[in-house]
Homo-oligomer: A and B are copies of this chain.
């Protein structure tokens, strides 16, 4: 059975390969997002390759094999189901669940996970609005865009927030940018690189485009 470390590397590589697809995921991104030195990442890649989780091309990067992808997906499923449980059942705060799930995802068995899934009513999205992969490792996605390329003046629903940091999550929460909420884009200022938003009847406010990019919306 793969160690927690292996599980983490694989989940991380899968997420990187999904969000910024360059075919191969470069070492730098991996080392960086796991907080290890690049040497550590390199040597880890070699052993992950030896165990057939991925294909490693020196100075190019890394691509997951199908078993690598499968395990990565399994980890994302675990993570998101656990986050859902922590919020829905135990009432933990939106911003504190990530770190908890990060540990639990390596400890929970397949059996307990599937029971949890049933107990929670087979949820399709975690509390951040991210889709929960199926048991078979498939992400069911609904057509989504970010606040960057949304229509001005139309009402839409917040689907998810693509940021893990407590700081940003708390900010988003305070502003009402939470999955499920309806929001309206009032105007976009391409010179100032901001977008002006209104949520229900609360005051308008604006968001920089780097932040706007993290907010997924639908409708």
Contact = CB atoms under 8 A, between A and B. Distances in A.
Interface of A: 86, 89-92, 96, 100, 103-104, 106-109, 111-112, 115-116, 119
A106 B107 CA distance: 8
Q: Across chains A and B, which 3 residue pairs bring their CB atoms closest together, nearest first?
A: A107-B107, A90-B115, A103-B107
Contacts of A116: 90
Contacts of A119: 89-90
Contacts of A109: 100, 103
Contacts of A106: 107
A112 B91 contact: no
Contact of A112 (B90, B111, B112, B115): B90
A110 to B, nearest CB: 11
Contacts of A86: 112
Contacts of A92: 111-112, 115
Contacts of A115: 90-92
Contacts of A100: 109, 111-112
Nearest to A96: B111
A81 to B, nearest CB: 12
A64 to B, nearest CB: 25
A100 to B, nearest CB: 6
A112 B83 CA distance: 12
A108 B112 contact: no
